Amino acid sequence: MSKQLFKRLIPKHDTIRNNKYLQIFGRLLHAPYLWHINRHSTAGAFAVGLFMAFVPVPFQMILAASSAIFFRVNLPLAVALVWVTNPITMPAIIYFCYVIGAFVLGHRVELFVFSIPDGGFWEFLHSMKDAFWPFLLGCMISGTIFSLLGYFGVHLVWRWHVIHRWNLRRTKRLNKN
């Protein structure tokens, strides 16, 4: 994985620092270790961001930012990875987590509709009462698995990239002679 690729894709320091929702962290956002791009910081950011993406609460970016500060990993990458769960992917991820949780708990998988009924949000929550615990367990299992896959995947790909670059330089050096 190229540092330049990550530098191009992740939000800039000023964008994160000036975000009104992340102002609660104050001067903590100025810590240099939150902005470094190296193998450990990037892998940790993948783990934090992907886990927080599956935590079923609003304001996941704040949770990701606080976890990135606590674990001293790349903050912009951790915050950006939360958007794996976005309004487009959310219905599929919710159902996937529900199916995983129902399977683990031994419940029968029910097909449910992703719409807010006429009674509003509270009626929707009441209709989801039987699916809540399987969904929550599925979120925790999925978050853990995807964060581990992200963490070890970044380490493997980063290592492969470094070895590949070394081999290219060695080949280039041998061909000059």
Other beta carbons within 10 Å of 38: 13
**Which residue, among 34, 9, 41, has the nearest Cα to 155 in the 3D structure?**
41
Q: Determine the pLDDT at residue 26.
A: 75
pTM of structure: 0.78
CA 44 – CA 15 distance, rounded (Å): 21
Phi and psi based region of residue 37 (left: phi greater than 0; alpha: psi -120 to 50; beta: remaining): beta
For Cα atoms 133, 134, 135, give the angle at the middle one, nearest 5 degrees.
Answer: 90
Polymer length in residues for the chain: 177
Mean pLDDT of the chain: 85
Quick one: average pLDDT of 113-137?
72
What percentage of the chain exceeds 70 in pLDDT?
82
CA 38 – CA 20 distance, rounded (Å): 27
From 47-51, 148-152, 161-165, the region with the lowest mean pLDDT: 161-165
**Which residue, among 120, 82, 114, 78, has the nearest Cα to 96 in the 3D structure?**
114
With contact defined as beta carbons under 8 Å apart, do 74 and 43 qualify? no
Other beta carbons within 10 Å of 109: 14
Q: Determine the pLDDT at residue 2.
A: 60
Burial class (CB in 10 A: 0-12, 13-18, 19+), 36: middle
With contact defined as beta carbons under 8 Å apart, do 74 and 45 qualify? yes
Quick one: average pLDDT of 26-46?
86
Q: Calculate the alpha carbon distances from 3 to 7, 162, 173 in Å.
A: 6, 11, 23
